[in-house]
Structure 1
Amino acid sequence: MKQSVLHPLALSVWLGISAVAQATPVSLDLPAQPLASSLQQLEAQSGLRIQFQAEGVANHQAPAIKGDMEPTEALQTLLAGTGLDFELRDGTATVSQAASSSATDERVNLGTMDVISTGLTGVARTEGTGSYTTGVVNSSTKLPMSLRETPQSVSVITSQRIEDQGLGNLNEIVQNTTGLTIQQSGPERQRYYARGFQVDNIMYDGLPISLSRYSQDVITAPDSAMLDRVEVVRGSTGLMQGSGNPSAAINLIRKRPTYEPYVSIGASAGSWDRYRTEVDASNALNEAGTLRGRIVTAYEDNGTYRDYGSTEHGFAYGIVEADLTDRTLFTIGASYQNDNKDADWGGTPTAFDGSDLGLSRSAYLGNDWAYWNTNTRHLFAELEHRFDNDWRLRLAGNKMWGRINMLGSYFFYDRAGSLNQGAGEYTYTDNYNSYDGNLSGPFQLFGRTHELVVGASMRNEIFDGHGGWGTTATNIDPYEWDSGAVPEPSYDMNLWNLKFQSEEKGVYAATRLSITDPLKVILGGRLDWYDYDDANEANSYKVTRNVTRYAGVIYDLNDTYSVYASYTDIFKPQNSPDASGGIIAPMTGTNYEIGLKAAYFDGRLNASAALFRMLQENRAKLLDSSFCPNPSVACYEAAGEVESKGIDLEVAGLLAEGWEGSVGYTYVEAKYRKDSTASNEGKLFDPDQPRHLLKVSTVYHLPGELQQWRVGGTINAQNSTFNETATYRIEQDAYAVVGLMLGYRVNEHVDTRVNLNNVFDEEYYSSLNSNTSIGYGDPRNLMFSVNWTL
């Protein structure tokens, strides 16, 4: 379509300053294609801002470019022989008709746009780069920094890696992320862990949503089709999200609209009658390109390796961006996810003493009337304005409505060791709001340029749950189980009720001080007010003016290596009553980390090594019912102190020409330092979490005549784990799960891929919850995918 006015072709990628961007070689991979497409991809891969008129480059073809090249040199190569030239001014390359091509031609001045340290969205997208790393993250302090400049351990699961491994949702992403593990309390109740503690916050574009005990049942794993990448900061991230465990912050960065037409249609089919389709379409919505939109949909109809069960999954995501002015961007979007699952509540039992029953992994010991249905809706908006002095104002909000309706059964052993089945029917509504506003930018002090961000945030959760339960079967023989034998029960939905509302308000500030050229110091603080209002007034409480401190130091040894140290406070409220009827004080603690970081190939390969130590105090510990004023109501004491320490290693990005990869290893030792039960002191805090964890993912594009082919693979390995109580011990030996991938690009539009997962059909427990609920990892399975892109 012919356009009469200019527009930028893509979102700007983070760069430090324009001079460095123009002079530093970057790794490029541009196929022979129309010139407009090459200019767009050059901008995305190099960060150089390029302006041109669409009609001015029409009917021109561009040659292929592959390898390291300075952005302006690459631009000259693309324009060679076209009669076009460019003018570089204030960091922007303006493409126009060459002055010497015609004496009568008028040179079209398309104006200029500054290269800025962050794009309008404040992030560096990974979509279309083919990379396993990214140029900038701000999930640690809200200050945009490269991975090397961030004084904490950070992993990024990029768009390319999600595609290569066929990661369809957040559960699968977590399973393949350095230092993270997933435990499932039953088939559909996921829990994420890092550094010995449960992850209790997930962020959407930097806005946190708490994963409370009940909301984790409502919020099923988000679909990956809407994600540009996932940033994971391990350790305490109180400056970003306020209260929470010192585990990790998982930040889901959504895809943004494109300026040029983009359409992608994908389909997958695999073992156990699993089918998935995706549609992703984006374009400018007006001729000027100041209004842009994107729609992403996905649908799954999946069987299972178990004897019974299926899942129907639907997902839709829409987003619109509007350039209100040259410096003001407004974004609004929404998503909807619906999961209808024929899945039971509990997992597979072991024997009473924790030994394996020898059942097949496919054995289903639930009932054919069980269901677990959830839907989650998000509405989000963002207003961002860039001032003339490079300061930026960002106002953002995210609203979530979550619903679950379920009916399912679970197993329990009585004191005599007989296996019995109970069932429950529950419905939850969980509504969540999260808002943030901040102002950030550079300032001058003592002749040097520094950065500052100040802001305020608020989030609240409103939960309302109802349910009923009962016993459905006794003295069960698991080897003779019939899933159709128990009639569907019906319960009084008011046997159990829970209503609460929590609210957290905070103000924060952080500054990045440039002490010398190689030395940077980051200082930050946060002040929080927390209010928990329970329908039972005895369980309501407040925390006023809690202070969270943050400090980081980064020293550049040279152009490649940096050393760093960081400190963060820990703050997590608890709603556990004590023996006097009050509420246990919040958990507090400290998080220390020191490390070495490196950036190779101009940031296309990032590496890090870290040592960390965390202390968490005042952990609520369940008391014997004889100590409680009402024996039928649980009570607790603040008796626990846990220390977690270990090593964190990761290399991710361009390993060699055509070879992307990620290798991550973590060692975590989390133990009780203090406990009211003296025998617990010195023991592992959560022994069913692995201490040694290795995650490997790689893809290699074959050279020469085989360049249409690519091969890849994954390895997820861990040490032995166990879960032990006074009555049972469940053990899982060390294991490794290997995956392989083979891809073939048919032409510039069609790409195919085959993923073979669990190649050696490793049989293992994926979770060790109790002797009545364990989970198995998926057996060997195959998935074939084909994708057509405009």
Structure 2
Amino acid sequence: MLRPFIPTFSGALALGLSASVLAAPVNFNLPAQPLSTSLTQLGQTSGLRVNFDAQSVAGKQAPALRGTLEPAQALNQLLVGSGLGATVEGNSARVYAPQAQTSAGTMTLGNVNINADAGIAGTSTTEGTGSYTTGAMSTAVGLPLSVRQTPQSVSVITRQRIEDQGMNDLNDVVKYAPGLTLRKFGGDRQQFLARGFTIDNLMYDGLPTSISTFTLDTITGADLAMYDRVEVVRGATGLMTGAGSPSATLNLVRKRPTATPQVSITTSAGSWDRYRTEVDASNKLNENGTLRGRVVAAYEDDKSYIDVREKDRQTFYGVLEADLSDSTTWTIGASKQRDDATSDWGSLPSGPNGEDLHLSRSSFLSNDWAYWDRDNVSLFTDLTTRFNNGWTSKLAFAKIWAESNTFSSYLNPAPGGNFTQASGQYDTTDTQTNVDGQLSGPFQLFGREHELTIGASRRQEKFDQKGGFWNAATPINIYNFDHGSIPKPTQESRQPYQSRNTATEEGVYVAARFNPIDPLHVILGSRVSWYDYDNRSGAGDYKVTQEVTPYAGIIYDLNDTYSVYASYTEIFKPQTQQDVAGSVLDPMTGESYEIGLKGEYFDGGLNASVALFDMTQENRAYAIPDQPASCRASNRTCYEAAGEVRSRGVDAEISGSLTPNWQASAAYTLVLSQYTKDRTYDKGDLFAPNVPKHLFKAATTYHLPGLLEKVRIGADVLGQSNTYNRVGNGHAEQEAYAVVGLMAGYRLDEHWDARVNFNNVFDQRYWQGIPTGSGSGTYGDPRNLMFSLKWTL
């Protein structure tokens, strides 16, 4: 059967594949170089006979090609942006210049089948692609859709970008990801924000995990050595995550085993005696490749520009993948991450009304005996079955055991502008269990093909924290503090504290993508959730039953490149506060409207979008100003659920290949988040003044041509408008700033690659966490260097 090829906006290629040439993947390691050279080396490495006319490829450059790919996929990547096409028949490939279009606007390639998944379009794994974008992601609605066909603002931090910018953990991802804000309020305490709201959902391989003020300390800071990419969906994501805020969701997608040998060792050394080593090995474990395995290990010894502070991290990840049959694959894996840190609890203070105290960036106002240690173990498994009718079933299970042990100190303001130091000691365990079953595939209706996914999930979080604090406060001099002068408090004088609760959420969900006419796609979905909160420390149990979360999206393809879209979605967030009668308040509800324009270029190698969003969160709890006598008599604070916040703005991004040698990402976000109803703040007051109104992030890498083909250069910039915290009768402020980073890399030979990252080139002094009177200010890293050397098999 003949299928027509419709040229894209860029004139990019289409690759014809016959069913007989789905060859085994091969490990490629080709530098950016003349296309003719890459095509020749492709044939030598894979055994695929590549035929091409020297004149048609003369003067054309091929991008770097690294990773494990099928030969046909590798050929497609080499030709992206060249204007050439290719056909594959058996073990032979032919590269050609496309013919003129026929009168119908199509061209015929002969007796071949077009495989839409051959290039970036349709693929999701980013390792080895060298790209700053991906071809498909399912985080938003559970269906594998391209960026262009997803009716929300979505981004991906790919494996290539992680390596180019030297990102090591999830905090780095949030720092550089479009539209997100990283707020630090201690050496090992952080908060993730988007569109004015706190992010309280992470996903691991599509399974949601809850995070809060305390659990964020125990399950984040995830080392990126084990992940292929991080997908980001901004706005409400209740369809797939259930409960949460209308901010964003981050989906960390793990690396999977490969069927060909793949080994790399990366060592890094940088400013302030920072050292890091990563080892990554993958291969088939039996002769026919039906059993595959991968192990990843990383060790980091991280000193700091801050006095006394240091941290070391040990990470291990192992995964097995087995083809139980031609249609069924079973995966099982585990990871362990251990962090041991000399760390503070609070951080640097401001004056009583937000005044800048001009403390040194190296100031550490805790003690040399302080620690914050964390241990995270996870186990996951999934069983995927592919049916002949195009349907797929997946049953997934994951469990996380997280512990955090801290004994550290914080500041209290004292009369006369002085400060005292108090301490606390807490042991926290957070166990999360998650199971999800999903069935998805195509179906026919009114002579058209559509897609459907249905699923059911259950997740439970068991949180236990015990410890206490010391009321005794020791006066200190914040400008000349001796870290060994205050002894560790004894247990006898501690004020005990305990918090124990279990939250269980169950849900069923369904989403369908209807294609009534060729340019129009409609996504409709809904989730029904049951939520149960058990306060094992005392009163305060509550339930939410049959909470319905709708989803609706529409995409209209203007042509082969551009689509317009609109979407509406909701999310709910249970609350623990009680009203005057002692009843738990109804959940907060959030809803998100979004309209936008998306473009896809170079066969999905470059994606662009611009969107307008409007979000509200209502039923927010706030304390009743004049507490009723019944509340005072029972020594509790009573609340009302009548608050409302509105967030509006613009979200724009472009990411991917500008040319075969040039990867780039740039994003701009405008956010105006305001109170619309509140007892404390007036209508129109900023809801999240520590989130910038204007946020710009960009990163780029360019492989030089010709004689300098082994050299690549890059840069990144993070710029934002002014922000502040309300403190006393004033503000602690951070003026608008920009932080610039540079990168240079050199491929010594086929095995060795060197890179240097020069961060905060202009040594910008800025608050990554704006201080308060009692101390939560954290400076961003000063100017620093990191050198890396990578060996690849």
In the superposition, the TM-score normalised over structure 1's length comes to 0.88
- Asked if 1:348 is matched to 2:348, the reply is yes
Distance in 2 (alpha carbons) for counterparts of 1:47 and 1:452: 32
Cα 1:714–1:260 shift into 2, 3 Å = same
Judge conservation of contact 2:711–2:744 (CA < 8 Å) in 1. Answer: yes
- Correspondence for 1:559: 560
Which stretch has the larger CA shift, 404-413 or 725-734?
725-734
- Asked if 1:660 is matched to 2:663, the reply is yes
Please give the residue correspondences for 1:698-737 in structure 2 after superposition, counting only pairs within 5 Å: 698-737=700-739
Please give the residue correspondences for 1:198-217 in structure 2 after superposition, counting only pairs within 5 Å: 198-217=198-217
Judge conservation of contact 2:80–2:660 (CA < 8 Å) in 1. Answer: no
- Correspondence for 2:544: 543
- Correspondence for 2:503: 502
SS of structure 2 residue aligned to 1:347: coil
- Correspondence for 1:649: 652
Distance in 2 (alpha carbons) for counterparts of 1:191 and 1:27: 49
- Correspondence for 1:147: 147
Distance in 1 (alpha carbons) for counterparts of 2:432 and 2:145: 29
Shift of 1:266: 0.5
**RMSD across aligned positions (CA):** 2.9
Shift of 1:409: 0.2
Distance in 1 (alpha carbons) for counterparts of 2:261 and 2:272: 36
Shift of 1:686: 1.0
Distance in 2 (alpha carbons) for counterparts of 1:417 and 1:203: 44
Judge conservation of contact 2:47–2:91 (CA < 8 Å) in 1. Answer: no
Q: Partner amino acid for 2:441?
A: G
SS of structure 2 residue aligned to 1:218: helix
Q: Partner amino acid for 2:726?
A: E
Judge conservation of contact 1:154–1:232 (CA < 8 Å) in 2. Answer: yes
Distance in 2 (alpha carbons) for counterparts of 1:237 and 1:66: 33
Aligned length: 732
Shift of 1:582: 1.8
Shift of 1:30: 6.3
1:286-339 Cα distance to aligned partner (Å, 9 max, x none): 000000000000000111001211111000001110000011010000010000
Judge conservation of contact 1:39–1:50 (CA < 8 Å) in 2. Answer: no
Shift of 1:141: 0.4
Which stretch has the larger CA shift, 521-530 or 346-355?
346-355
Which stretch has the larger CA shift, 214-223 or 455-464?
214-223
SS of structure 2 residue aligned to 1:32: helix
Shift of 1:209: 0.2
SS of structure 1 residue aligned to 2:164: helix
Cα 1:8–1:464 shift into 2, 3 Å = farther
- Correspondence for 2:388: 388
Cα 1:186–1:625 shift into 2, 3 Å = farther
- Correspondence for 1:778: 781
In the superposition, the TM-score normalised over structure 2's length comes to 0.88
Cα 1:64–1:746 shift into 2, 3 Å = farther
Q: Partner amino acid for 2:577?
A: S
Please give the residue correspondences for 1:734-745 in structure 2 after superposition, counting only pairs within 5 Å: 734-745=736-747
Judge conservation of contact 2:68–2:260 (CA < 8 Å) in 1. Answer: no
Shift of 1:359: 1.5
Cα 1:89–1:369 shift into 2, 3 Å = farther
1:364-387 Cα distance to aligned partner (Å, 9 max, x none): 111111000001011000100000
- Correspondence for 1:182: 182
Shift of 1:67: 5.6
Shift of 1:39: 6.2
- Correspondence for 1:397: 397
Distance in 1 (alpha carbons) for counterparts of 2:136 and 2:518: 19
Q: Partner amino acid for 1:32?
A: Q
- Correspondence for 1:228: 228
Judge conservation of contact 1:756–1:783 (CA < 8 Å) in 2. Answer: yes
Judge conservation of contact 2:470–2:495 (CA < 8 Å) in 1. Answer: no
Cα 1:229–1:495 shift into 2, 3 Å = same
Please give the residue correspondences for 1:56-205 in structure 2 after superposition, counting only pairs within 5 Å: 68=82, 69-72=84-87, 124-205=124-205
- Correspondence for 1:683: 685
- Correspondence for 1:519: 520
Which stretch has the larger CA shift, 37-46 or 528-537?
37-46
Which stretch has the larger CA shift, 626-635 or 285-294?
626-635
Judge conservation of contact 2:438–2:453 (CA < 8 Å) in 1. Answer: yes
Judge conservation of contact 1:377–1:400 (CA < 8 Å) in 2. Answer: yes
Identity over aligned pairs, percent: 51
Cα 1:680–1:37 shift into 2, 3 Å = farther
Distance in 1 (alpha carbons) for counterparts of 2:39 and 2:480: 61
- Correspondence for 1:102: none
- Correspondence for 1:756: 758
- Correspondence for 1:636: 639
SS of structure 2 residue aligned to 1:360: coil
- Asked if 1:580 is matched to 2:581, the reply is yes
Judge conservation of contact 1:724–1:730 (CA < 8 Å) in 2. Answer: yes
Judge conservation of contact 1:30–1:65 (CA < 8 Å) in 2. Answer: no
Cα 1:495–1:743 shift into 2, 3 Å = same
Judge conservation of contact 2:586–2:641 (CA < 8 Å) in 1. Answer: yes
Relative contact order higher in (CA < 8 Å, ≥ 6 apart): 2
Judge conservation of contact 2:418–2:477 (CA < 8 Å) in 1. Answer: no
Shift of 1:641: 0.1
- Correspondence for 1:259: 259
Judge conservation of contact 1:303–1:311 (CA < 8 Å) in 2. Answer: yes
Judge conservation of contact 2:338–2:376 (CA < 8 Å) in 1. Answer: yes
Cα 1:412–1:77 shift into 2, 3 Å = farther
Distance in 2 (alpha carbons) for counterparts of 1:741 and 1:152: 32
SS of structure 2 residue aligned to 1:375: strand
- Correspondence for 2:103: none
1:95-128 Cα distance to aligned partner (Å, 9 max, x none): xxxxxxxxxxxxxxxxxxxx69799xx9610000
Shift of 1:360: 1.0
Judge conservation of contact 1:504–1:531 (CA < 8 Å) in 2. Answer: yes
Distance in 2 (alpha carbons) for counterparts of 1:64 and 1:437: 38
Shift of 1:657: 2.9
Task: Give structure 1 stretches of 5+ with no counterpart.
Answer: 13-25, 52-62, 81-87, 93-114
- Correspondence for 1:618: 619
Q: Partner amino acid for 1:291?
A: L
Judge conservation of contact 1:623–1:637 (CA < 8 Å) in 2. Answer: yes
- Correspondence for 1:467: 467
Cα 1:403–1:27 shift into 2, 3 Å = farther
Please give the residue correspondences for 1:232-631 in structure 2 after superposition, counting only pairs within 5 Å: 232-414=232-414, 417-471=417-471, 473-491=473-491, 495-624=496-625, 626-627=627-628, 628-629=631-632
Shift of 1:469: 0.7
SS of structure 2 residue aligned to 1:495: strand
Distance in 2 (alpha carbons) for counterparts of 1:378 and 1:632: 40
SS of structure 2 residue aligned to 1:143: coil
SS of structure 1 residue aligned to 2:174: helix
Distance in 2 (alpha carbons) for counterparts of 1:155 and 1:232: 5
The structure 2 residue matched to 1:674, chosen from 672, 677, 680, is 677
Distance in 2 (alpha carbons) for counterparts of 1:270 and 1:230: 25
- Correspondence for 2:697: 695
Cα 1:261–1:475 shift into 2, 3 Å = same
Task: Give structure 2 stretches of 5+ with no counterpart.
Answer: 1-19, 28-34, 50-64, 96-109
Judge conservation of contact 1:472–1:486 (CA < 8 Å) in 2. Answer: no
